[in-house]
Structure 1
């Protein structure tokens, strides 16, 4: 299957490629390595043309096992604990039997004698990672491609592009318990709390939002041309959608609206978010690059050249390495997240796709977050802290930055002294712990006293002057008057004087405790560039 088959499900497979697929698939089944997985971190790579899954030990970047899957495996998802891998096979189990091949030995050519190759539905392969063996095959809709597991590991969601449905699989019985209509369903992701499922509609330019409790579509988000892959941030606040029209849409999951559109490379397909939520990695299939997006600014901060036609991309649980599946190179590129450079290339099977969350296990420790109100005020300041961590923490440890702590989930704390305080929260559950730190988060203030300096204070026009706030008392607002009719509200502005004269500068600073003003008369002196005339020189 050529790569555009993944983009347009109506395309047919060249006959020679079909013959190759069957031979390679049979050989792979006979030679499978049934090595036992250790407790490490593994990448599971779906090889479309080999109909196999390559298992990579991310500690050594070596293939430790090759597991047979269904026909043309594409989507893949590791459950959070790393015990099971779910593989979406683009065609059903009866696919091989529908083919009627004829081979001309003299010309070494082959052809499909049927007019069209179809199947009633695709399948999902269930792999046990302890033994790297196929333990179940679940029939789903036609042309399944995207697959995702909920945090509780009780449900698997499968996006069936051909039948325009999402299949919901019960992991205890490996049976489909619900089918949800979603037109051209393609990429799929579950929120960290397991309450919502986001599905891209390939030819609809929309993303459907499914309520996991009722298995109904509750919202539709309009994005850009040909939405393909999707990933949700670890804190659940954002969803990132790759649009084949060279962009990534950023969806606010609270409002289900697009808040930003980020230009990336050509034909972005796979997408993954770093464990800390600070970066997004995008596989650009036509550009042969991985785009690195800063989530704070929604801008591309780096591009990394990888192999030929990268399709899937995923990040290790510690965020240190990124793995990209190069479809035409039959390799995996390993990227160092700190330097954005390729540090290893791993040969795998034929046509690696690895579309989805293909690295596991995934940390089930809490993703820690918190808020406070108020965050600024006069001493003594009483602050109410609210835990906003996800993944069900059972223990909490707060460090308020003034030498005191608390183990309550939502404590109240009184700050007695003026200053800026850094607050830390460590949340813990049975799977581990995680710490969130907010630097200078709480500001206990007194009425500020305005003060400033400038450099230079004299010179010829145009004169550029840098002003520096030196006020005490932790002001939060500034208002400068430069004496020439202009003002600024920056803390440390730069201003250009264009005309000759002596200028009075005023600074007013304020915070919740009050305000203060300081004025410096004739503080800036500006002269002209005009040279004295002959009369003035001889006078």
Structure 2
């Protein structure tokens, strides 16, 4: 059963938006071409010297790379999603009507915003260009996180209330499969090649590895106390898992199926995110409501050491990094804000107020489309009333 509004297949909206703002991130540009390659052989040394100088000058003059796109935030207690202009830090739209959205994910092409409603047991699809509802589908009990496969064809939802994984066709929202997982499935991430998805099971203290072709669990790996989320290395060999129970992050070899490293962080961590090149791992150190954390730890995933600790808001929960690795956005659960972090300086450069209790966060390379500042949608309630709530991760 699913409810569909319009078509989920649409052309990719390509909008070029060049904006210079007060908090554009500083980054190294690409090398500029060198001139005078036709110098005579008798002046080779001088030509090489001039070439080096021209290259250095080009590096200095090219300036920072502009950051564009849209950052989507799930405001769980605000029953809404916030869309933030990545270039300016301004909230450009608020979509209300999604009851208790715990997590949000943008499709690889940037065209669809996916969210889960924890109270309505619903998967929700929004058009990223118009902010209109495209469709909904029922999930299992208390859906926690949603991800989209790298090819954009599958949508996967963990159901923490009944220990299952739901797999949907992204175009039709039809349910492809439901499979049993270990206890308390929560955060999940696909491997870069899309052949598997790694799921953190908070109650079981394990990660499950699921084959996305056969929809079978191919491995269950013990990792530690209360793991809410994972990150997967670019080569697919390693997963990194946050552990609330021990205020640490562990490294898991997915081939050898065992933990191979660990590092402590200041407060119990929740979400993790790797830079696209896999050289830096960010941990949102949320803590608890009684003892909230206020830091983001920057971890060297090779050495499993903390190389920087960045102040954020109260209860850092969700984290996402844009593809160039220059900027990150972190949701602060207990003060209803998003911290914008410059990863070239490891500093928070601005704080954006959003809705109540912001949780999941996702980045889209597509700049905000013209649309209403506020809009409301209607999502069916698929819950029976017997389900329990998921843990606050």
Deviation at 1:176, TM superposition (A): 1.5
Contact 1:76 1:354 in 2 (8 A): yes
Partner of 1:171: 170
| Long gaps (5+) in structure 1 | 1-35, 93-121, 363-539
Alignment deviations for residues 313-354 of structure 1 (CA, whole Å, 9 cap, x no partner)? 110111100110011111100011011101011111111111
Deviation at 1:255, TM superposition (A): 2.6
CA distance in 2, matches of 1:228, 1:360: 23
2:332 to 326, 330, 338: 326
Q: Stretches of 4+ moved more than 6 A in 1?
A: none
Deviation at 1:78, TM superposition (A): 1.2
Q: Which moved more, 1:212-221 or 1:61-70?
A: 61-70
CA distance in 2, matches of 1:288, 1:134: 35
Deviation at 1:37, TM superposition (A): 9.5
The 3-state SS of whatever aligns with 1:285 is strand
Partner of 2:363: 359
Deviation at 1:237, TM superposition (A): 2.3
| Long gaps (5+) in structure 2 | 1-12, 17-67, 288-292, 367-393
Contact 1:88 1:123 in 2 (8 A): yes
- Determine if the alignment matches structure 1 residue 267 to structure 2 residue 268: yes
Partner of 2:257: 256
- Equivalence map 1:113-512=2 (5 Å): 122-182=121-181, 183-244=183-244, 245-286=246-287, 287-354=293-360, 358-361=362-365
The 3-state SS of whatever aligns with 1:284 is strand
1:87 to 115, 133, 158: 115
CA distance in 2, matches of 1:350, 1:197: 30
CA distance in 2, matches of 1:228, 1:169: 22
The two structures have a TM-score, normalised by structure 2, of 0.73
CA distance in 1, matches of 2:157, 2:97: 16
Deviation at 1:132, TM superposition (A): 1.8
CA distance in 2, matches of 1:333, 1:267: 18
Q: Which protein is bigger by CA-based radius of gyration?
A: 1
The 3-state SS of whatever aligns with 1:192 is coil
CA distance in 1, matches of 2:311, 2:164: 35
Contact 1:68 1:134 in 2 (8 A): no
1:72 to 81, 97, 100: 100
CA distance in 2, matches of 1:71, 1:280: 31
Q: Greater strand share, 1 or 2?
A: 1
CA distance in 1, matches of 2:273, 2:132: 27
Contact 1:37 1:130 in 2 (8 A): no
Partner of 2:48: none
The 3-state SS of whatever aligns with 2:134 is strand
CA distance in 2, matches of 1:37, 1:74: 29
CA distance in 1, matches of 2:226, 2:14: 38
Cα RMSD (Å) of the superposition?
A: 1.6
CA distance in 1, matches of 2:215, 2:97: 28
Deviation at 1:136, TM superposition (A): 1.1
1:42 to 70, 88, 92: 70
CA distance in 1, matches of 2:346, 2:133: 35
Alignment deviations for residues 52-81 of structure 1 (CA, whole Å, 9 cap, x no partner)? 110011111111111125211011111111
Question: For this pair of structures, how many residues does the alignment match?
Answer: 296
Higher relative contact order (CA 8 A, sep 6+): 2
